[in-house]
Chain A
Amino acid sequence: MKKDSSLTFDIFNYAVQIAITLLCVYPFYYIFIYSISDPQQAVKGVFIAPAGFTLLNYATIFKLDHMLNSFVVSVLRTVIGTAVTVLCCSWFAYAVTKNELYFRKLIYRFLVVTMYFNAGLIPWYLTMKALGLKNSFLLYILPGAISAFYVVLLKTFIEQLPKALEESAMIDGAGFLKIFVRIIFPLSMPIVATIAVFSAVGQWNTWMDNYFLVSSDRLQTLQLVLYNYLTQAQQIVNSSNMQDLNRGLATKVSPESIRITITMVVTIPVMLVYPFLQRYFVKGIMLGAIKG
């Protein structure tokens, strides 16, 4: 089908794709070169190559208040949140495939239906507060532990595993938990990996729960630190913090260079897991072609 291509079409096609790719990539490239440029030269404009070279921006941002702490909070919520979500969803998905579970279909529907309605921002806010999750690390973990979408994907996958494996294990006297741990979970790795990646990126990027319900600095995520810098840029210019940072330095950081470097730091982890992401996301969507 590709042999008889007309040349004009190909040229047009490649040109369009290259243009779109550049549009998508350039903003990231720009903040990268800005973050390693000398801040004073960068203010005059960087476009294609960095102006000067310094790691000062990176060295400086970790001296900012809360920065390291927030980095740890973000990493913790991503790691713990993902682990909890993956385990809860896969166990739940396995359980609802079992005929031995009373009200199996009802329980499954009870969950699936949650995909179609949403009580809204204020009831969510009030409920979380009433459940005592305000200013608690558990707010980052528990509400997302069971997700209808992930359970549907997992259940679909588990249902098409060969039944014989499970039956023979059962004859050997294994219980449901043992079968889950030894057989079902390891066999479900392709879909589990997909969900782990979905969930990890989601955790890393989420900030609304932090914004609305966590006022404690100790639990602030990296995303929110960046948001605060963005919305309070002007204050930071005048803040003593910035002047302190620049005291005694030959090259001085600027509010822009700090903001852009924080953006880079928040983006880097996503870029690092990105090669895996791409593979599993496509797979996740392809898997959807199997009946839910």
Chain B
Amino acid sequence: MVLPFVAMIFAFNYIPLFGWIYAFFDYRPGIPLSESSFEGLKYFRLVFEDKEQLINVLVNTLVLGFLSILASPLSVIFAILLNETASGKFRKAVQTLTTLPNFISFIIVYSLATALFSSGGLLNELLMKLHWIQEPTNVMANPEAAWLFQTAVSVWKGLGFGSIVYLAAIAGIDTELFDAAKVDGAGRLQRIVHITVPEIMPTFFVLTLLAVAGILSNNFEQYFVFYNSLVSGKVETLDYYVYRMGIATGDIPFGTAVGMAKSIVSIALLFSLNALSRKIRGQSVFQERGANGEKGFFPDVRYF
């Protein structure tokens, strides 16, 4: 009774792995693989030979990734502020409204950004009306602002939703800790700094670790929709490079080689960071025992 599902899991998750073979053949669409010549590691070499492109793409990927990791404490701060709100109704309203951006597609995000920030958009209208600027400026076409703008977009989309996991963590703190601190005369800020923050640190640590592990493949959809010729030098990440070379240009072996290298480095990064974390903090990002005590790397569904 589960066989059809096992077949589906195999078809949609494992068969694509065999597609990595295209990185080793001079494959062109339309010609079967059996008639394509085997080229060994030629395409991997080509990827590294095109240093300028590769470095640019890597820099963009890493900078954008680190900027969003740098911004991640904002969710923690927001969760703490929410938790410190006396009125439950107010807190619920804020939480509901700030999570809304998380549930819309990046196409809608892009459309909203166009309505607000493009040359004819709201912001320019407003600034021109106030005579603060003479000429409309378009932040989405400004390469100098591209990195920060993209980070701002992902913060806008993810801040509210990102805080939920921390609110859950705060709700799990033993209230006796707070009561004891209060008896000892600790003020509100002191309780935040000495109890709330340290208690949610493990959650923050795991999420940051996962973010670092996933740094090579984040937000493809976002950079895809915001991509344009003016900011291409700043928002072209590894994933976009794979798309541009492999699908837009049609150089399938080259694109596959880039993608394959990326996937392997990513998974190696995840497991080595996890090993490091276990060694240093004794903390794993996985549930290493299943519900029945079986060993393995089970996902901790709070974080994935």
The CA-CA distance from A30 to B115 in the complex, in Å, is: 9
Task: Knowing A146-B5, A267-B104, say if A289 contacts B188 (CB, 8 Å).
Answer: no
Q: Contacting chain B: which of A58-66, A75-83, A107-115, A243-251? A: A107-115
Q: Type the 1/0 row for B129-163, where 1 means its CB is closer than 8 Å to any CB of A.
A: 10000000000000000000000000010011100
The CA-CA distance from A152 to B9 in the complex, in Å, is: 14
CB-CB < 8 A to B164: which residues of A?
281-282, 285
B1-30 with Cβ < 8 A to chain A: 1-2, 5-6, 8-9, 11-20, 22
CB-CB < 8 A to A142: which residues of B?
8, 12
Cross-chain pairs A/B with CB under 8 angstroms, 13 sampled: A17-B85, A21-B94, A24-B101, A31-B111, A119-B13, A119-B20, A120-B242, A123-B259, A149-B301, A152-B301, A212-B247, A226-B108, A285-B168
CB-CB < 8 A to B161: which residues of A?
281
Q: Which of B156, B178, B252, B301 contacts A122 (CB 8 A)?
A: B252
Q: Type the 1/0 row for B59-81, where 1 means its CB is closer than 8 Å to any CB of A.
A: 00000000000000000001001
Q: Type the 1/0 row for B216-257, where 1 means its CB is closer than 8 Å to any CB of A.
A: 010011000100000000000001001100110000100110
Q: Does B116 touch A at the CB level, under 8 Å?
A: yes
Q: Type the 1/0 row for A99-111, where 1 means its CB is closer than 8 Å to any CB of B.
A: 0010001010111
Indicate if the CB atoms of B301 and A121 lie closer than 8 Å.
no
Q: Type the 1/0 row for A250-292, where 1 means its CB is closer than 8 Å to any CB of B.
A: 0000001001101100110011001101100110011111011
Q: Type the 1/0 row for A41-57, where 1 means its CB is closer than 8 Å to any CB of B.
A: 00111010000000000
Indicate if the CB atoms of A291 and B291 lie closer than 8 Å.
yes
Q: Which of B16, B99, B217, B302 contacts A278 (CB 8 A)?
A: B99
The CA-CA distance from A62 to B78 in the complex, in Å, is: 41
A216-241 with Cβ < 8 A to chain B: 223-224, 226-227, 230
Task: Knowing A24-B156, A30-B116, A156-B291, say if A230 contacts B111 (CB, 8 Å).
Answer: yes
Closest partner residue, chain B, to A127 (CB atom): B16
Indicate if the CB atoms of B98 and A45 lie closer than 8 Å.
no
Q: Which of A34, A120, A148 contacts B299 (CB 8 A)?
A: A148
Q: Does A192 touch B at the CB level, under 8 Å?
A: no
The CA-CA distance from A156 to B252 in the complex, in Å, is: 41
The CA-CA distance from A140 to B6 in the complex, in Å, is: 19
Q: Contacting chain A: which of B34-42, B47-55, B119-127, B275-283? A: B119-127
Closest partner residue, chain B, to A6 (CB atom): B188
Interface, chain B (partner A; CB < 8 A): 1-2, 5-6, 8-9, 11-20, 22, 78, 81-82, 84-86, 90, 93-101, 103-105, 107-108, 110-112, 114-116, 120, 122, 125-126, 129, 156, 159-161, 164-165, 168, 172, 175, 178-179, 182, 187-189, 191, 217, 220-221, 225, 239, 242-243, 246-247, 252, 255-256, 259-260, 262-263, 267, 270, 287, 289-291, 294, 296-304
The CA-CA distance from A149 to B302 in the complex, in Å, is: 11
The CA-CA distance from A207 to B220 in the complex, in Å, is: 13
CB-CB < 8 A to B93: which residues of A?
21
Which residue among B100, B129, B300 has the maximum number of chain A CB atoms within 10 Å of its CB? Answer: B100
CB-CB < 8 A to B225: which residues of A?
227, 230
Task: Knowing A20-B159, A260-B115, say if A122 contacts B302 (CB, 8 Å).
Answer: no
The CA-CA distance from A177 to B1 in the complex, in Å, is: 10
Closest partner residue, chain A, to B251 (CB atom): A122
Q: Does A126 touch B at the CB level, under 8 Å?
A: yes
CB-CB < 8 A to A92: which residues of B?
2, 5
Q: Does A88 touch B at the CB level, under 8 Å?
A: yes
What secondary structure prevails in chain B residues at the interface with A? helix
The CA-CA distance from A263 to B115 in the complex, in Å, is: 10
A153 to chain B, nearest CB (A): 6
Task: Knowing A47-B126, A120-B260, A122-B242, say if A223 contacts B107 (CB, 8 Å).
Answer: yes
Size range of the chain A interface in the assembly: 35 or more
Which residue among A101, A131, A274, A278 has the maximum number of chain B CB atoms within 10 Å of its CB? Answer: A278
Indicate if the CB atoms of B304 and A149 lie closer than 8 Å.
yes
The 10 nearest A-B residue pairs measured at CB:
A123-B19, A120-B259, A119-B16, A288-B302, A205-B105, A288-B301, A123-B16, A45-B125, A114-B13, A263-B111
Indicate if the CB atoms of B97 and A24 lie closer than 8 Å.
yes
A30 to chain B, nearest CB (A): 6
What secondary structure prevails in chain A residues at the interface with B? helix
The CA-CA distance from A20 to B22 in the complex, in Å, is: 47
CB-CB < 8 A to B129: which residues of A?
45
A249 to chain B, nearest CB (A): 22
Indicate if the CB atoms of B263 and A118 lie closer than 8 Å.
yes
The CA-CA distance from A223 to B224 in the complex, in Å, is: 14
A150 to chain B, nearest CB (A): 10
Closest partner residue, chain A, to B255 (CB atom): A122
CB-CB < 8 A to A267: which residues of B?
104, 108
CB-CB < 8 A to A45: which residues of B?
122, 125-126, 129
Indicate if the CB atoms of A95 and B2 lie closer than 8 Å.
yes
Besides the known contacts A109-B296, A259-B114, A292-B299, 17 further A-B residue pairs in the complex with CB atoms under 8 A apart: A2-B86, A10-B86, A13-B81, A17-B82, A20-B78, A20-B98, A24-B97, A30-B115, A45-B125, A116-B267, A119-B20, A126-B19, A126-B22, A127-B12, A212-B247, A224-B107, A285-B168
The CA-CA distance from A231 to B277 in the complex, in Å, is: 44
